[in-house]
Structure 1
């Protein structure tokens, strides 16, 4: 278990967010190709007001359907999102993503700083990087 000065590190409270032209299709893709878990999806018909996808190894993302400019308080353009996601299984995940039709933008490789990973693009054009690098330890 992760430790923090006051004890256990709290659950993730920073949630990367994105918009999608076809949020339902993007959710299906992210679950099938990358292994995210659908936690909740709110909305009616084709419109997704709010969705949360959890990453099995910790954390997650939130997303929703693109909205008309005059009604959007969070005007993110679909396809402009990018994220780095930590995984202990980059080889298996890359094979899964490729089998599901993900565009692999950077083939599996090892870095000079000890990470192994790959890059991919989802059907909306968002860029994803998956690797074993967990970042540097938090400062005390």
Structure 2
């Protein structure tokens, strides 16, 4: 049942989607798989996590559109082999750090931070069971 195509996506919207996409790529390490602009807005973008098969779908927040999600309301956990490196890049970019890299009781090393739009991201080594 293995696949390389994501079957679950984190979805979110942003006040400044172009800037958030750049931040996710340059700071967190995501890769742009697709991006469809509508003037100054991002109608739809797909970002892939290079260490797995998960991804993020996002676009510009426009009040009143179907499937509207308040910017800054998402929380995500991302499996990574090196949460310390993600943390260092985020700190260098001025991210709000909620938890510095630390080992957990359940065998993970993780860090927690907030992106420029207010979404919370945990990066850790725990892959789930």
Q: Same fold (TM over 0.5)?
A: yes
Q: Which ranges of 4 or more aligned residues in structure 1 deviate by more than 4 Å?
A: none
Pair 1:67-2:62 in alignment: yes
1:1-21 per-residue CA deviation (whole Å, 9 max, x = no partner) reads xxx4xxx34632111100000
Matched pairs, number: 128
The answer for unaligned runs of 5 or more in structure 1 is none
* Distance (Å, rounded) in 1 between the aligned partners of 2:3 and 2:38: 36
* Distance (Å, rounded) in 2 between the aligned partners of 1:48 and 1:9: 28
1:12-69 per-residue CA deviation (whole Å, 9 max, x = no partner) reads 2111100000000100111111011111110122211000011001211100001121
Q: Secondary structure at the match of 2:41?
A: coil
TM-score, length-normalised on structure 2? 0.94
TM-score, length-normalised on structure 1? 0.87
Which structure has the bigger radius of gyration? Answer: 1
Q: Structure 1 38/9 Cα, relative in aligned 2: closer, same or farther at 3 Å?
A: closer
Matching residue of 1:109: 102
Matching residue of 1:26: 20
* Distance (Å, rounded) in 1 between the aligned partners of 2:35 and 2:3: 27
Q: CA deviation at 1:107?
A: 0.8
Q: Secondary structure at the match of 1:80?
A: coil
Per residue, is there more strand in 1 or in 2? 2
Matching residue of 1:39: 33
Q: CA deviation at 1:125?
A: 0.4
Pair 1:131-2:96 in alignment: no
The answer for unaligned runs of 5 or more in structure 2 is none
Instruction: Indicate the RMSD between aligned Cα atoms, in angstroms.
Output: 1.2
